């Protein structure tokens, strides 16, 4: 399973390095989201600073949808989906590999968005460890859930429109918990960043990673 | 030794439509069988069922000793399918695509260079992204994947389509080499002048079932350019090893055989 996941992640990342879709399209869309919200909230920095954590995670969520669509779009060209099924790869390995590639792309995106939040919204990072932990746990959950729902939607003709409809409500806990941890980490709210919200992010990631390992195979065959 | 393919009254549905309506087919190990028949006869469905891509919902389906009714993914590491669509990634180059396919099945990637060389995918072509290749070149890459993977069962769906004359000749050599190495080949084709000389038997399909069979070119039954007339069509019957007794042919079989200009036994 691990060997297969490394193989699939390597393949997806190599394709991304070659095509640069995430770099040239997904990251600019996420950055634009931040800029547009900055315009919408007006010139006063106070509301922007307060809203920064939520806007960061909204931008990450939108980017997740695009990254997942791209990841499964690769497998829908000609017979690539059949090819992946016929390859003999362990479905759990395929799931983990695709999720790992998406997660790595999202981590790069989050790094850039964090800089954007600091520059555009004037936020100050008080607890960088908590910030990073929330990003890692949240990203793992988003990538796992996204890969699972991406596989579910991949065999359907309406997958482009169906995926956000399926995925966004499911990942609402990541938006909520990620925002709460960030609010503490940016000093907007008092409290310990290790409080239940970070644990919720970890549990969400663990549940979807386990779920994906178990059901990705049947899902791949059925879709 | 278990046959490479054993389908007995195999039924498969695509949505509610019966793609296979009780197919009886045996392919022995080391044997080459050509599937022929009109569009919609079930040729591609037989190949996809043998590859475990199309679930068999009735009857029996065994591929290389794996029961596809129980686990249709079981035989995937030992079969190779060349379908209408090539299973390649446009953004990876030729050698990356072949290497990925070979590593995915856990095989040694040492044979990749040989396979690319056999298919003439050398020099600048090796490093060209597959998305930039012509349809024929892409098909050659897909063939190189098969050659490098060395599957025990080759499933070829219209393999000559889109290939130039030289590569068509090469395909014949590759199939012969695979057979000599003990692999089995199941090939669907609308080009009997190319396909029949490669085969031990030619099986006719119509309406999702087998309606007749005749010897192929390897059995001395058909010559290139005149495959249909060289040997009589044997009537369809339940799945049986080569050489077993015949069973009566049904009327769709006669109709299909007549349409092809073949001779049938009543």
CA distance B216 to B230: 9
Q: What is the pLDDT of residue A128?
A: 86
Mean pLDDT within B127-133: 89
Inform me whether the C-beta atom of residue A79 falls under 8 Å from chain B C-beta atoms: yes
Which of A60-74, A89-103, B19-33, B205-219 is predicted with the least confidence, judged by mean pLDDT?
B205-219
Rounded to a whole number, what is the distance in Å from the CA of B194 to chain A's nearest CA?
A: 24
Rounded to a whole number, what is the distance in Å from the CA of B212 to chain A's nearest CA?
A: 30
How confident is residue B23, by pLDDT bands cut at 50, 70 and 90?
A: confident
| Interface contact flag, B104 A74, Cβ < 8 Å | no
C-beta separation of B18 from B11 below 8 A: yes
| Interface contact flag, B87 A86, Cβ < 8 Å | yes
Q: What is the pLDDT of residue B218?
A: 73
Burial of B16 (0-12, 13-18, 19+ CB in 10 A): exposed
Structure tokens, A189: 């709210």
What residues form DSSP beta bridges with B205? B210
**Cα distances (angstroms) measured from residue B164 to each of B59, B139, B154, B159:** 40, 10, 21, 11
Q: Does the pLDDT at position B175 exceed 70?
A: yes
C-beta separation of B130 from B101 below 8 A: no
Q: Does the pLDDT at position B245 exceed 70?
A: no
Structure tokens, B16: 């509610």
Q: Does the pLDDT at position B132 exceed 70?
A: yes
| Interface contact flag, B92 A11, Cβ < 8 Å | yes
Q: What is the pLDDT of residue A213?
A: 94
CA distance A86 to A71: 18
The structure's pTM equals 0.81
Return the C-alpha torsion angle B91, B97, B100, B103, nearest 10.
180
CB atoms within 10 A of CB A206: 14
Set of chain B residues whose Cβ sits within 8 Å of the Cβ of A86: 51-53, 76, 79-81, 87
Mean pLDDT within A70-91: 80
Mean pLDDT within B5-10: 87
Inform me whether the C-beta atom of residue B106 falls under 8 Å from chain A C-beta atoms: yes
Set of chain A residues whose Cβ sits within 8 Å of the Cβ of B77: 88
Q: pLDDT tens digit string along B110-119?
A: 788 888 888 8
Q: Does the pLDDT at position A60 exceed 60?
A: yes
Q: Does the pLDDT at position B252 exceed 50?
A: no
Angle at A134 between CA A133 and CA A140, to 5 degrees: 90
| Interface contact flag, B73 A221, Cβ < 8 Å | yes
Order of all β-strands in the sheet with B5-14: B17-27, B5-14, B56-63, B66-67
Inform me whether the C-beta atom of residue A218 falls under 8 Å from chain B C-beta atoms: no
| Interface contact flag, B88 A19, Cβ < 8 Å | no
Set of chain B residues whose Cβ sits within 8 Å of the Cβ of A79: 83-88
Q: What is the pLDDT of residue B5?
A: 86
Q: Which of A88, A89, A94, A220 to mutate to test the interface with B (most CBs of B within 10 A)?
A: A88
| Interface contact flag, B84 A74, Cβ < 8 Å | no
Q: pLDDT tens digit string along B176-210?
A: 888 888 889 999 888 888 878 888 898 888 888 88
Inform me whether the C-beta atom of residue B85 falls under 8 Å from chain A C-beta atoms: yes
Q: Does the pLDDT at position B228 exceed 70?
A: no
- The proportion of chain A whose per-residue pLDDT surpasses 90, expressed as a percent, equals 40
Q: Does the pLDDT at position B1 exceed 80?
A: no
């Amino acid at each position: 399973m691990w060997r297969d996941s490394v193989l699939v992640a390597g393949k997806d990342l190599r394709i991304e390095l070659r095509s640069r879709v995430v770099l040239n399209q997904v990251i600019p869309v996420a950055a634009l989201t931040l800029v547009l919200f900055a315009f919408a909230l007006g010139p006063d920095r106070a509301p922007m600073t307060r809203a920064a954590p939520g806007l960061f995670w909204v931008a990450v969520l939108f980017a997740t949808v695009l990254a997942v669509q791209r990841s499964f779009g690769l497998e829908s060209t000609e017979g690539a989906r059949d090819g992946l099924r016929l390859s003999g790869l362990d479905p759990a390995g395929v799931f983990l590999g695709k999720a790992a590639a998406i997660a790595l792309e999202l981590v790069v995106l989050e790094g850039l968005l964090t800089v954007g939040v600091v520059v555009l919204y004037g936020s100050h990072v008080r607890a960088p460890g908590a910030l990073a932990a929330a990003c890692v746990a949240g990203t793992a959950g988003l990538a796992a859930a996204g890969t699972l729902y991406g596989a579910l939607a991949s065999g359907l003709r309406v997958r482009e429109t169906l995926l956000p409809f399926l995925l966004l409500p499911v990942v609402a806990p990541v938006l909520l918990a990620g925002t709460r941890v960030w609010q503490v980490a940016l000093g907007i709210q008092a409290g310990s960043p290790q409080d239940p919200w970070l644990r919720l992010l970890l549990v969400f990631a663990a549940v979807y990673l386990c779920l994906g390992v178990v059901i990705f195979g049947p899902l791949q065959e059925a879709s | 030794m278990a046959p490479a393919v054993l389908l007995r009254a195999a039924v498969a549905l695509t949505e509610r439509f019966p793609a296979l309506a009780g197919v009886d087919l045996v392919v022995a190990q080391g044997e080459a069988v050509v599937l022929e028949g009109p569009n919609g006869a079930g040729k591609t469905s037989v190949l996809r069922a043998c590859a475990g891509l199309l679930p068999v919902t009735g009857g029996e389906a065994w591929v290389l000793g794996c029961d596809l009714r129980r686990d249709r993914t079981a035989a995937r590491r030992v079969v190779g399918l060349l379908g209408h669509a090539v299973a390649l990634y446009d953004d990876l180059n030729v050698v990356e695509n072949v290497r990925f396919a070979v590593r995915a099945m856990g095989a040694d990637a040492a044979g990749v260079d040989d396979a690319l060389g056999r298919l003439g995918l050398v020099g600048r072509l090796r490093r060209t992204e597959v998305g930039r290749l012509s349809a024929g070149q892409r098909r050659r890459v897909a063939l190189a994947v098969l050659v490098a993977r060395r599957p025990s069962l080759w499933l070829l769906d219209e393999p000559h389509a889109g290939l130039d004359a030289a590569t068509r000749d090469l395909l014949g050599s590759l199939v012969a080499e695979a057979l000599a190495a003990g692999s089995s080949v199941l090939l669907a084709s609308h080009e009997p002048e190319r396909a029949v000389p490669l085969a031990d038997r030619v099986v006719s399909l119509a309406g999702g079932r087998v309606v007749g069979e005749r010897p192929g070119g390897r059995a001395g039954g058909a010559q290139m350019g005149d495959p249909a007339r060289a040997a009589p069509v044997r009537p369809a019957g339940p799945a049986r090893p080569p050489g077993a007794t015949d069973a009566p042919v049904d009327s769709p079989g006669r109709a299909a055989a007549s349409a092809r200009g073949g001779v049938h036994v009543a």
